[in-house]
Amino acid sequence: MGQIKDILRTMEYGPAPESNTDVQAWLDANNQGFGHFINGKFTSIEGRDLIAVMNPANGSPLGKVVHGTTTDVDAAVKAARAAFGKWSVLPGHERAKYLYAIARHIQKRERFFSVLETMDNGKPIRETRDIDIPLVARHFYHHAGWAEMVETEFEGYSPVGVCGQVIPWNFPLLMLAWKVAPALAAGNTVVLKPAELTPLTAIAFAEICHEVGLPAGVVNIVHGDGTTGAAICGHKDVDKVAFTGSTEVGRIIREQIAGSEKKLSLELGGKSPFIVFEDADIDGAIEGVVDAIWFNQGEVCCAGSRILVQEGVAERFYNKLRKRMETLRVGDPLDKTMDIGALVSPGQLKRVTSLVEKGKTEGGTLWQAPVKLPAKGNFFAPAFFTDVDPASTVCEVEIFGPVATTTTFRTPDEAIALANNTKYGLAASIWSENINLALDMAARVKAGVVWINSTNLLDAGAGFGGYRESGFGREGGREGLYEYLTADWEKRLPLAKAEQSLKLSAAPDGDAKVAQGGSIDRTAKNYIGGKQARPDGGYSYSVLGKGGQIIGHAGIGNRKDIRNAVEAATKAGGWGSATAHNRAQVLYYLGENLDARRAEFEALLVESTGVSAKAASEEFDTALRRIFYYAAQADKYDGAVHATKSRHVTLAMNEPFGIVGIVCPDENPLLSFVSLVLPAISMGNRVVVVPSARHPLLATNLYQVLDTSDVPGGVINIITGESDVLAKTLAEHDEVDAIWYIGSKEGSAMVERASCGNLKTTWVSNGRQRDWLGGKAQGKEYLRRAVQVKNIWVPYGE
């Protein structure tokens, strides 16, 4: 150890080791290995296959855990199901007491958990001590409050049931808290699989569950690899799946559970933009980069890995960034002076190294900190690329290491084009002293979380989650609790009567009866971009009315018709940025013009479906009221300002998905069409709608109403034809952002499976029958399904 006077001259850091005596003693006491935590007890390890757990910083063994089998998963799910009955009906206050106790016990052992997490994961002790573990406690405190209020704040909603949860290795205990706390607050029980690389803090958490007296079976923890996770997700008695991890695995899970009626939330990969304008506080932005990409060794799904810098300050920014990078310290994560620890595994180190070499091969210039790395462990020096093309591998692929790319831009429009040039949409960071510019960029960037003049801020009170291939669903805040609840009305829907699917034929039917012979022929076209368009295939089919009579013809739409409709919807993007007041006025006008043609539509309902004049009048009246309801909601379904711990105004903004595909049922063809289309467009979405195949003329007769109601071309596009064929095309289309399907159970499974390409949000009926005339066919659940929540963190104060 040097003299104080010498240290003051050089300002060199001395060693500041964190003691791991207590953690090592705990590990030594369990050196034979850890079993699963099932039904309130740890299972035996006798005769079981074990997975070795290694210290990323030095390669030494830490412990062993049992490799879970399908038998273990069955036992855990059985325990969770048995516990669900009592736990779900426990008064919210009683559940809150358990969550509060968990939070308190985590706080009492913060140091233990911090050290254990650092040894297990490789991240610096400063991060686990100051960020991870305090946030874990915060999540349980916050959700203790939701448990207290869930019965009144979420009236009409109930817990989902048994939740299967699979978490990653980058924030082991924090990801557990994100999943377990809201599940328990809502009244669910849990079967959770930690990452096989980092299971140790989950084991210590299980001991806390036992310590606070949490009822047996409420939390169950099963260890293992991807096969164990797949067994949990696919288990027939799991009602909800929550997964955080790679987009590739998220896609596999979506396909695996398609048609199972399991609720699903996915928090997946990211390639987040970090946008720096010329008027930004450059020194502040440099520190932001440190937090954005070199925090947690860059093993962060929302890491600001794509740095976009305005051209006028780019060279100055890069010079400062190089100098700042040179001061970062890489080494033993238990040393409190270290900035960057070890990557989680040799495999991850190999992946990062390989991608960096690919970036250099493709012409990028690598700037890397000149640090001496420890001889042992999975260490990688912080770095960033310049001279990279936006289409290069390192700009497109999630590296998941301490490596960023840099690109310049000239205008805000160019910055947005570069920022959104990714399949992901998890987070973004915007740096500017012009608050108008910053908020405008925040609104335009496609990301679920946006930080202004800050980065990587997380809190239990604000939702976290992405757009596009970064997944769907939110964790944290009010919006996160919805993921663990289900609407009572939807859960109680009866199965629809089995009905033979309608196979459309373009061939003439010489034996069919023709209604109103001698009248002018009626052939409906598609409606695309505000204009009527013949179906691309040139085929039409006979539309039968009451008594099986032909009452007209409709086009048989195909893949190209869907493509054209999506293109038209894309061009109508201004609808989403229009004020809610203006959208409301258009919808009121739509109702006004539809009412003027009441007699025509009531007569067509009778002619098409065979209902009585009274029933037709009731359906029309209900459709009209529904239009006015969603017109009223257009400027009233508000977001919120979340109460987060830091000095930020955290805005939870309801944003439209973009383009929503809607497949309507045969029942109440006018009313069901209105009930599905109106909530979507009132929130600013554009829609491509497949109306009832049996009764399409109710939808096609709306064309003239839309034309005279100031609905911009492309906002509503209507393609007639075979429902499931067109539904599959919509589900597969990468530019369709969400899809609603009301139809058979088989069709629902097909839609969920076909949506895996871009992981679009789906809402399917699973063959259940809705009462379109009833009150539950409209309401805030439809509006909630029509938006995704963007959380914008705006700092305030000095």
Q: What is the dihedral of CA 600, 601, 602, 603, to 10 degrees?
A: 50
- Which is nearest to 682 in space by CA: 626, 622, 621? 626
In the numeric block, the tokens 């270290």 are attached to 338
- 669: its two tokens: 């063809």
Total Cβ atoms within 10 A of residue 596: 11
Residue whose entry in the numeric block shows the structure tokens 């099963």: 222
Residue whose tokens read 């629902």:
748
Concerning whether 117 is annotated as a catalytic residue, the answer is no
Evaluate whether 380 touches 354 at the Cβ level (below 8 Å): no
Alpha carbons 382 and 340: distance in angstroms, whole number: 8
Which of 18, 127, 196, 267 is catalytic? The answer is 267
- Give helix 133-153 / helix 172-186 axis angle, nearest 10°: 20
Q: Which one is catalytic: 301, 302, 664, 756?
A: 301
Distance CA 258, CA 759 (A): 12
Per-position b or e across 107-136, b if 16+ CB within 10 A of its CB: bebbbbbbbbbbbbbbbbbbbbbebbbbbb
Structure token pair of residue 217 = 């079976």
Residue 592 CB burial class (10 angstroms; 0-12, 13-18, ≥19): middle
Q: Are strands 41-42 and 240-244 parallel, antiparallel or unpaired?
A: unpaired
Cβ–Cβ contacts within 10 Å for residue 636, how many? 10
Q: Which helix (H) or strand (E) holds 117?
A: helix 110-121
Residue in 89, 73, 85, 86 with CA at minimum distance from that of residue 237 = 73
Q: Is 301 a catalytic residue?
A: yes
Of 300, 484, 459, 447, give the one whose Cα is nearest residue 788.
447
* CB distance 687 to 659 below 8 Å: yes
Strand 659-663 to 549-555 pairing: unpaired
Q: How far apart are CA 699 and CA 691, in angstroms?
A: 6
Which residue in this structure is represented by tokens 């997944």? 471
Q: What letter does residue 169 receive in the DSSP assignment? A: S
Count of H-run helices and E-run strands, the chain: 30, 33
Instruction: Return the residue matching tokens 């439809």.
Output: 782
Chain centre distance of CA 452: 21
* CA–CA–CA angle 666, 668, 672 (5° rounding): 85
Strands, E, within 26-173: which ranges? 37-38, 41-42, 50-54, 61-66, 157-159, 162-166
* Catalytically active residues, by annotation: 267, 301
